[in-house]
Amino acid sequence: MLKGSSQRIIDNPSPDKLWEMSKRFSIPNELNLPLFHSKIKSRSAKFTGIYDASDPEAQKYIKGAQEFIDSHDMIKINARVGDESACTFKSTLLVSSAYPQLAFMYQRNLFEPNGHETDEISVITIPEYPERKILVFPKESTELILGSDYYGETKMAALRLAMYLAREKHFHLGLHAGSKAYNLEIEDSLKRFGILIFGLSGTGKTTLTCATHDLKAPESVEIVQDDINFINSDLNTFGSERNFYVKTDSISSQPLLLIAVKKEGSILENVYVSPSGKIDFDDMSVSTNGRAVLPREHIPYHASDYSVGKVNVIFFNTRRDDIPPILKVDSVEKAAAVFGLGESTITSADDPSKVGQPVRTVGFNPFVIEDLAKEINTFKKFLEGKKFQAFVINTGWIGGRDGLKIKPQDTFDFVENALRGKIKFKYDPTTGFDVPVSTEDWDISKFDPMNFYGKKEYEKKMSGLREERRKALESIGGVDKDIISAI
Domain boundaries along the sequence of the chain: 6-170, 174-243+304-486
| pLDDT of the residue at 8 | 87
- Helix, strand and coil in the chain, % to nearest 5: 30, 30, 40
The pTM for the full model equals 0.94
Cα–Cα dist 180/307, whole Å: 9
Q: What angle do CA 265, 87, 112 make, to 5 degrees?
A: 30
| pLDDT of the residue at 344 | 84
Amino acid letter, 369: I
Sign of the alpha-carbon torsion through 352, 353, 358, 360: negative
Cα–Cα dist 257/40, whole Å: 25
| pLDDT of the residue at 358 | 78
The rounded radius of gyration (Å) of the Cα atoms in the chain is 22
Give the domain 6-170 fold: Phosphoenolpyruvate Carboxykinase; domain 1 (3.40.449)
| pLDDT of the residue at 201 | 79
Same CATH fold, 174-243+304-486 and 6-170? no
Q: Which residues of the chain have pLDDT under 50?
A: none
Amino acid letter, 149: D
Phi, psi angle pair for 60, to nearest 5°: -60, -45
Report the top-level CATH class of 174-243+304-486: alpha beta
With contact defined as beta carbons under 8 Å apart, do 406 and 394 qualify?
Answer: yes
Strands 220-225 and 173-186: antiparallel
Cα–Cα dist 317/320, whole Å: 10
DSSP state of 197: E
Counted residue by residue, the chain has a size of 487
| pLDDT of the residue at 2 | 82
| Nearest of 317, 457, 463 to residue 396 by alpha carbon | 317
Strands (E), 333-440: 343-345, 358-360, 389-394, 397-398, 404-405, 423-428, 433-439
| pLDDT of the residue at 30 | 97
